[in-house]
A and B are shown apart, each in its own frame.
Chain A
Amino acid sequence: MAGAQMAKNEVEQSYGEFAQRDRTVHPPPFAPTYKTTVLRSPRNALISLQNSLSEITAPVFSRDELGPLDHDLILNYAKGGLPIGERIIVHGYVLDEFRRPVPNALVEVWQANAGGRYRHKKDTYIAPVDPNFGGCGRVLTDRDGHYVYRTIRPGPYPWRNSVNDWRPAHIHYSISGSGWVQRLITQMYFEGDPLIAHDPIVRTIPSESAIRQLIGVLDKNAAMPLDSLAYRFDIVVRGARATWFESHVQGQPAMQRE
């Protein structure tokens, strides 16, 4: 039994090169309707690099680095009371492009409070800071690539781009997988939010299907009755190709093509 289990783990934990990034799903760096990109986007073409050890490895995080409340945003900054707002559970899977689960991925999240205000010294929005809400959390995916955390549904807020631009309610996500090339920052939006269609940051994404993939959906089956609603949000990171290719990354390849 133990031997069979170990063999399965070895298959899951095999490491290889990653599939080339499909940049057509991503926003272009230069997207002038989101004004800040204009001076912060490189003008030269990226130099394409085949994976080496520097790209297929990445930091490994362990469960004992995280505190017991790190994934509970309702309690992890509570100072004698509970935060204001709609209590929600957010869960989903981190998968790679080949539908394989990504275990032990570090998922870090941050967000505004129910009024749309961030606990950040640079945020000056009129909505008040909630004394019981920090607005950040983190969790490692389990062996099936699953993650879950509990929080307050964030509020929308205005931002300086055009004078009347508003961010839809969203939760920021940072994903660290098994390879450096899987590193990703994105945002989860909420099903049914009319602001999604008007948001210049969402609209930097070139296709409707890629936008839909960033929308968390109501998942009543994961709700806690009489306590919290739930949303499901799956994240897809770069796919690790079969280990057959690995000999190119280190050591002499069977067939030298470079």
Chain B
Amino acid sequence: MVSELDYLKESASQTAGPYVHIGLAPHAAGFDIFENNFSHVLATAETKGERITIEGRVIDGSGTPVRDVLVELWQANAAGKYNHPADRQRKPVDPTFRGWGRACSDFESGIFTFDTIKPGIVEGRGGRSMAPHVNLWIVARGINIGLNTRMYFSDETAANAADPVLNLIEWEVRRNTLIGQREERSGKRIYRFDIHLQGPQETVFFDV
């Protein structure tokens, strides 16, 4: 008698298509329907931590910005704690900070932005610290299955050098594709992060 595994198969991914905004960001599609809308603003006035803006573009294989992309961001709070019951680190949850947002690229410039706070260090597998990072998920027309990547911070050189995930990437030159570059612009701290879908600067994407 042989045991049969009756596991199910994950439903197949399909592209988000050109009109993803209707469902996930109706204001961007050009109409108002829900009372409560999800947005690219993660931090409120009460949220603890250093205010930052993450700004970037998704660039296709011809070098053209993708102007119909939707990006979601998931991150820990300033103490390095995810607002989720599976995070059992002994650190405080910030009740004003869910740590999640979604942004659409601008239909002209292709630029997306997130207004958030800089996350803290999160404990990684086996107790190894992960450098501050945000998790990104990218969908659009022509992307058959959502792309997972991370953005790390250019001013965390030492933590980045010890990060267990960055160190998994065999090609050191490719690790740089995951570093958001710090800029100061009109009093705001901005991390610039362009995501390249193809080409010599192709961003590292993860199979998570």
- List residues of A whose CB falls within 8 A of some B CB: 13, 15, 21-23, 25-29, 31, 34, 36-44, 46-60, 65-67, 70, 76-77, 95-99, 108-111, 118-123, 134-136, 138, 172, 174, 178-181, 183-187, 201-202, 204-205, 209-211, 213-214, 235-239, 248-253, 256, 258
When distances are taken between beta carbons in the complex, the residues of chain A under 8 Å from B123 are 53, 250-251
Enumerate 18 A-B pairs (CB-CB under 8 Å) in ascending A order: A39-B64, A39-B142, A40-B141, A47-B169, A49-B168, A51-B125, A60-B98, A110-B20, A119-B29, A120-B19, A134-B31, A172-B17, A174-B16, A180-B74, A213-B11, A214-B11, A237-B10, A252-B127
CB <8 Å contact, A110 and B168: no
When distances are taken between beta carbons in the complex, the residues of chain B under 8 Å from A76 are 33
A182 to B197, CA, bound (A): 22
Contacts A27-B13, A60-B98 aside, 20 further interface pairs with beta carbons under 8 A come to A22-B9, A26-B10, A40-B142, A47-B205, A51-B125, A57-B86, A59-B83, A60-B84, A97-B7, A118-B29, A136-B33, A184-B146, A185-B14, A185-B20, A185-B139, A204-B144, A210-B12, A250-B87, A250-B123, A250-B127
With A41-B144, A97-B10, A235-B11: A57-B206 Cβ-Cβ less than 8 Å: no
In angstroms, how far is the closest chain B Cβ from the Cβ of A22?
6
When distances are taken between beta carbons in the complex, the residues of chain B under 8 Å from A238 are 10
A202 to B13, CA, bound (A): 10
Query: Which residues of chain B in 125-147 are interfacial with respect to chain A, using CB atoms and an 8 Å cutoff?
Result: 125-127, 130, 133, 135, 137, 139-147
A55 to B139, CA, bound (A): 17
Residue of B with least CB distance to A205? B12
Closest 9 CB pairs of A and B: A110-B23, A36-B142, A15-B86, A59-B100, A57-B84, A40-B142, A46-B207, A121-B30, A39-B61
Whether a CB of chain A sits under 8 angstroms from the CB of B54 is no
A26 touches which one: B12, B100, B204, B205 (CB < 8 A)? B12
Residue with the highest number of chain A CB atoms closer than 10 Å, among B14, B33, B34: B14
In angstroms, how far is the closest chain A Cβ from the Cβ of B38?
9
When distances are taken between beta carbons in the complex, the residues of chain B under 8 Å from A51 are 125, 208
A209 to B11, CA, bound (A): 10
B20 touches which one: A172, A186, A204, A209 (CB < 8 A)? A172
With A47-B204, A48-B207: A53-B7 Cβ-Cβ less than 8 Å: no
Number of interchain pairs (Cβ within 8 Å): 278
B198 touches which one: A36, A43, A256 (CB < 8 A)? A43
CB <8 Å contact, A120 and B207: no
Whether a CB of chain A sits under 8 angstroms from the CB of B92 is no
When distances are taken between beta carbons in the complex, the residues of chain B under 8 Å from A252 are 126-127
What is the interface of chain A mostly: helix, strand, loop, or mixed? loop
A202 to B173, CA, bound (A): 37
CB <8 Å contact, B82 and A52: no
When distances are taken between beta carbons in the complex, the residues of chain A under 8 Å from B146 are 183-185
When distances are taken between beta carbons in the complex, the residues of chain B under 8 Å from A109 are 23
CB <8 Å contact, A187 and B36: no
CB <8 Å contact, A201 and B207: no
A95 to B6, CA, bound (A): 13
When distances are taken between beta carbons in the complex, the residues of chain B under 8 Å from A26 are 10, 12-13, 144-145
With A47-B206, A57-B86, A108-B23: A34-B127 Cβ-Cβ less than 8 Å: no
CB <8 Å contact, A52 and B23: no
When distances are taken between beta carbons in the complex, the residues of chain A under 8 Å from B64 are 39
CB <8 Å contact, A211 and B126: no
B147 touches which one: A42, A120, A248 (CB < 8 A)? A42
Residue of A with least CB distance to B138? A40
The proximity string for B residues 141-156 relative to A, scoring 1 for CB distances below 8 Å and 0 otherwise, is 1111111101000000
In angstroms, how far is the closest chain B Cβ from the Cβ of A47?
5
Residue of A with least CB distance to B135? A54
When distances are taken between beta carbons in the complex, the residues of chain B under 8 Å from A183 are 72, 137, 146
With A27-B12, A66-B36: A118-B126 Cβ-Cβ less than 8 Å: no
In angstroms, how far is the closest chain A Cβ from the Cβ of B151?
12
CB <8 Å contact, A258 and B122: no
Residue of B with least CB distance to A237? B10
Whether a CB of chain A sits under 8 angstroms from the CB of B8 is yes
B19 touches which one: A58, A110, A253 (CB < 8 A)? A110
A179 to B100, CA, bound (A): 13
